[in-house]
Chains A and B, each alone.
Chain A
Amino acid sequence: MHVRNTRRETSFGTLLRRIAGSWQLYVLILPAFLYILIFRYGPMYGLQLAFKSYNVRLGITGSPFVGLEHFRRFLSYYRFGEIFSNTIILGLYKLAVGFPIPILLALSINEVRSPGIKRFLQTVTYAPYFLSVVVVVGIVYQLFSPHYGILTGLIRSLTGKTINIMGTPEAFRHVFVWTDVWQLMGYQAILYLAALSAVPPELYEAAAIDGASKFQRLLHIDIPSLLPTATVLFILEVSRIMDISFEKVILLQTPLNLRVSEVLTTYVYKVGILEGYFDFATAIGLFNSIINLVLVVTMNTIARKWGESSLW
């Protein structure tokens, strides 16, 4: 009895001593810890606004509870269908184009024999990743300027018409997705190229001796070796379907293309920050985040069952 008690005390004492002994480690992690607590978990605490009728005087915690009122209001709002489908369509379009192209690019670069050309292609396709969204959209505006834009000129010589692309609603989704591909394909291809460089060369040699053509080697060696990387990136991409870049949409948005360019995040910004309906806007944002989270978890579960790699 007495002995057991001491042992427990000792182990508790050891624990305390271990913490005390490494107190400096806790000091070192403190800034990051506080930062995450205030600026990452603070907003999560603020999510309760979605279920309250916000009153500045009463504060977040003191404001009266209204349950799912804001969600109901948003779901019955006449623009709900439009905003929701814009978000989904843009996300799916981006996934359909933005996911396979970097794979294609990596497979293609991997076939180049000259290391110099290989490096050149990587450097070039990777460069736009460093440009800001404003610069990319700025370039698009210049290329499609109705007065002097080189692409407007090209369209004019093909169709005989001068089209203001930035004011054409039908063009918005294409411009959004393809500029994204332009900016990101080189960056995403790097991960696939890394996976390809890990394939043992003997595999190719053996296949070649067996008479496999280059295309067959690509199909049976390269593509399977990309699958784990592709799975992880696919899960990540799917989880971003609802998370369309706010910056880029707001920059490409004009009063003329609003019908197709208003997505959940831009609407949240307008209702919340511009108009000050914090509670309602928080509810819409939460609606968006929950769909997102459900998407990641679902995709990850599928990936795990499927036997390939997963996020966790």
Chain B
Amino acid sequence: MVKHTSHPSLRSTGADKVFDVVNGLFLTVIAVVVIYPLVYVVSASFSSPGAVSRGAVILWPVEPSLEGYKAVFKYDTVITGYLNSLFYMGVGTFINLVVTMTAAYALAQRELLGRTAIMVLFTFTLLFSGGIIPFYLVVKNTIGLNNRLDMVIPNAMSVANLIIARTFIQQNLPSDLREAARIDGSDDFYFFFKIALPLSAPIIGVLTVLYAVGHWNSFFYPFIFLSSKELFPLQIVLRNIVLMNEMGVDSYQNVEYAARVAGLNDLLKFSLIVVASLPVLVIYPFVQRYFVKGIMIGSIKG
């Protein structure tokens, strides 16, 4: 491909140069538009309360300080929210992996009679659902509202992820392997735990990230199922503080102090946004490769 230019007739023409310039400009604009809001938020979060309130932050932190972060972690609701989010993410992802991998393994075996019917039954739910209210009623009647289990059971598996996992197992674990293991006297449980799972490490990695990010970012479930503050995950706390301005400034007796706190509250919102996205952004560079692979596998028709 690179050799193009050496061939006399392949030297880039004027039109091609214009094309390259336009293309370069377009991509530069896109990159700036995508990155700028992120840089701005991070910079503001490291600035002083005064600089943020004046609107002095444009690109880099102004009067750098950590006051926003100190303030964030003084909020009990933030700490509770963080711990809740970690809990929901950990337990939820574990349940997701168990339910998805066992089903994916079973559905990958030709021996499973009725597997096409089961697959159709599962896949149909991607096209049609009962909608918000019947779903809400099912959860209310089975688990009950305002229960930690609401965050991890009603979304115990994603059919899209199941299809990804099943495709992976079909491609990487030939049925001969299972036949051979069978002849050697190992049953399905043994084969699943001792051979299939270790060989599925790459797909388990992809699923872990997909599910964990989903749990960490989840807003809909806690929004409709949870009402007590002690159970709120970070996303709800974030919404209440950043979008609804619920910061409890009223509780401060001293007026002067309240004014200072109000300035700090502007800054605190930025810091809280950063804190709430930190876990996913930290793992992002490491897992991006797997993630892309996961999407690719998922896009293959199952």
Interface residues of A (CB under 8 A from B): 15, 18-19, 21-22, 24-29, 31-33, 35-36, 38-47, 49, 60, 104-105, 108-109, 111-113, 121, 123-128, 130-135, 137-139, 141-143, 145, 147-150, 153, 182, 185-187, 190-191, 194, 201, 204-205, 208-209, 211, 213-215, 229, 239, 246-247, 250-251, 265, 268-269, 272-273, 278, 281-282, 285-286, 288-289, 292-293, 296
Contact = CB atoms under 8 A, between A and B. Distances in A.
8 contacts: A22-B109, A29-B112, A32-B103, A32-B122, A38-B142, A104-B26, A134-B217, A239-B127
B137 A278 contact: yes
For A28, A44, A214, A288, the residue with the greatest tally of chain B CB atoms inside 10 Å of its CB is: A28
Contact of A141 (B122, B154, B242): B242
B131 A43 contact: yes
* A interface SS class: helix
B133 A39 contact: no
A182 B40 contact: no
Contact of A268 (B131, B273, B276): B131
A29 B220 contact: no
A141 B243 CA distance: 7
Contacts of B23: 108, 111-112
Contacts of B26: 104, 108
Given A149-B55, A215-B19, A132 B276 contact: yes
B134 A121 contact: no
Instruction: List the 4 shortest-distance A-B pairs measured between CB atoms, nearest first.
Output: A43-B130, A46-B134, A285-B131, A32-B103
B136 interface: yes
A128 B134 contact: no
A148 B109 contact: no
A213 B15 contact: yes
Contact of B137 (A46, A182, A185): A46
Interface stretch (B64-72, B246-254, B279-287): B279-287
Nearest to A272: B133
Given A18-B113, A134-B238, A42 B130 contact: yes
Contacts of A292: 128
B179 interface: no
A151 to B, nearest CB: 9
B157 A26 contact: no
B125 A40 contact: yes
A141 B273 CA distance: 11
Interface residues of B, number: 100
Interface string B96-112: 00111011011101011
A202 to B, nearest CB: 10
A29 B242 contact: no
Nearest to A104: B26
A121 B19 contact: no
A19 B113 contact: yes
Given A134-B239, A273-B224, A38 B138 contact: yes
Contacts of A142: 41, 44, 242, 269-270, 273
Interface in B143-184: 153-154, 156-157, 159, 162
B54 interface: yes
Contacts of B94: none
Given A139-B41, A205-B1, 5 more contacts: A33-B118, A127-B284, A130-B280, A150-B55, A191-B295
B128 A293 contact: yes
A36 B122 contact: yes
Contacts of B63: none
Given A43-B138, A132-B219, A150-B55, A272 B273 contact: no
A123 B127 contact: no
B238 A135 contact: yes
